[in-house]
Amino acid sequence: MTAPMLSGYAATLEGLQRKARLRSLSPQRGVDFTSNDFLALASAPRLKEAIIAAMERGVPAGAGGSRLLRGNHPEHEALETEAAEFFGADRALYFGSGYAANSALFSTLPQRDDLIVYDTLIHASAHEGISASKAAGVSVSHNDANAFDEAIRNWRKNGGRGRPWIAVESLYSMDGDKAPLAELVDVADRHEGFLVIDEAHATGVFGAGGRGLAAGLEGRENVLALHTCGKALGVSGALLAVPGVLADYLVNRARAFIYSTAPSPLMAAGVRVALRIAEEEPHRREALERLVALVGKGLAGRFGMEPSRSQIQPVVIGDNARAVRIAGILQAEGFDIRAIRPPTVPDGTARLRLSITLNVNPQQIASMLDCLAAAMEEHRR
């Protein structure tokens, strides 16, 4: 029996259970169709050896304090210098996670008279930062450059005086589709605004040397990019690639940076090597591209689904409970595939999120598609 002072929390959990939205932790088990370890770097021998070598030369696991105190390690600074050069940015700033970086960026840089116009499907971490910002925020239709332009024009007509900030993901984490970056940078230029590009799922996978879909735009004074290090790069943390004055502003004003213990210097050393691997081992991206094409062909031919043409492929089920049941069948057959439900995705779009990584092979993909077909037939409704 739940104690009275905990009953409200228990009731909320029971409500989630009735809606088939209750979450719980589960161990890593089965063939990996869930992780964001797209290039299989997390367990790559070259990365392991580099981290061991860093430990042997004395790089510590923990920073021991914030970057503004004693936590600023030479590995942090070396990573930021190399990352800025790699991505073609003026400066890079290393955070402990993409969530912390997005939260810091949006809660700190847009000013009181500014406007943040964001894609409705942008990451939860961006929503967190926007909600803490002094600037007003407005969402617009997904991947609609005209909607961004119209929102800014309406704001100006109604007396908007500051600068607009356009916030998008270059590759969306639940749909696997790409933002129209060329059109969006035109909108930003036209309105003398900033374009913030979350490259979380594109870094390492797309662009020359794995530089992402924003490659070629970085280095402009009005473009900011976030590159997470715990997905295709296989380590942890996140890099904000920004104009130098904005990096200095974040160091002085971003509470998530100032009041957090610095990221692990050992992980910073790992990210330095991961960036080199991304550039020096293009065969990883080529192999991933072949697997993505194989999955897309299978989904189109067997289910009539339009493939996303990226390493993130949604299989939209609709009903929460049905999505959970189908995922359960796949898991029982040895495939780690999870059901993604609201509020992570919009109501009525519960789905299986197939994440294609180099941790799988063509035979495992074929077996997974067979199992998926059987599970969907068994649970038509």
The whole-number pLDDT of residue 43 equals 95
Considering the domain architecture, whether residues 227 and 318 belong to the same structural domain is answered as no
Does a structural domain hold residue 5? no
Strands 31-32 and 335-336: parallel
Supply the residues annotated as catalytic.
36, 123, 169, 173, 198, 201, 231
CATH number at residue 182: 3.40.640.10
Considering the domain architecture, whether residues 214 and 342 belong to the same structural domain is answered as no
Task: Return the amino acid letter for 367.
Answer: S
Considering the domain architecture, whether residues 194 and 336 belong to the same structural domain is answered as no
Considering the domain architecture, whether residues 179 and 230 belong to the same structural domain is answered as yes
Cα–Cα distances (Å) from 345 to 54, 129, 147, 205, 314, in that order, read 40, 19, 21, 23, 11
Considering the domain architecture, whether residues 30 and 64 belong to the same structural domain is answered as no
Does a structural domain hold residue 296? no
Considering the domain architecture, whether residues 29 and 129 belong to the same structural domain is answered as no
Does a structural domain hold residue 147? yes
Considering the domain architecture, whether residues 32 and 78 belong to the same structural domain is answered as no
Rounded Cα–Cα distance for residues 165 and 46 (Å): 39
Considering the domain architecture, whether residues 87 and 139 belong to the same structural domain is answered as yes
Is the pLDDT score of 379 beyond 80? Answer: no
As a whole number, mean pLDDT of residues 302-313 equals: 93
Residue ranges with strand state E in 256-362: 312-318, 335-336, 339-340, 350-355
C-beta of residue 354 within 8 angstroms of C-beta of residue 337: yes
The whole-number pLDDT of residue 381 equals 60
The whole-number pLDDT of residue 297 equals 96
Round the average pLDDT of the chain to a whole number and report it. 95
CATH number at residue 342: 3.90.1150.10
Where is the domain boundary, 280, 301, 327? Answer: 280
Strands 164-169 and 115-119: parallel
Q: What percent of the chain has pLDDT over 70?
A: 99
Does a structural domain hold residue 8? no
Does a structural domain hold residue 251? yes
Considering the domain architecture, whether residues 28 and 101 belong to the same structural domain is answered as no
Is the pLDDT score of 150 beyond 90? Answer: yes
Does a structural domain hold residue 291? no
Is the pLDDT score of 378 beyond 80? Answer: no
Range of the domain at 208: 45-280
Does a structural domain hold residue 367? yes
Cα torsion through 290, 291, 294, 300, rounded to 10: -110
Is the pLDDT score of 68 beyond 90? Answer: yes
Total domains present in the chain: 2
Cα–Cα distances (Å) from 105 to 46, 102, 135, in that order, read 32, 5, 12
Does a structural domain hold residue 306? no
Considering the domain architecture, whether residues 273 and 354 belong to the same structural domain is answered as no
Confidence grade of residue 4 (pLDDT, cut at 50, 70, 90) = confident
Where is the domain boundary, 257, 280, 303? Answer: 280
Considering the domain architecture, whether residues 214 and 117 belong to the same structural domain is answered as yes
Where is the domain boundary, 263, 280, 297? Answer: 280
Is the pLDDT score of 2 beyond 80? Answer: no
Q: 328-367: per-residue pLDDT in tens?
A: 999 999 999 999 999 889 999 999 999 999 999 999 999 9
Predicted structure pTM score: 0.93
Considering the domain architecture, whether residues 103 and 169 belong to the same structural domain is answered as yes
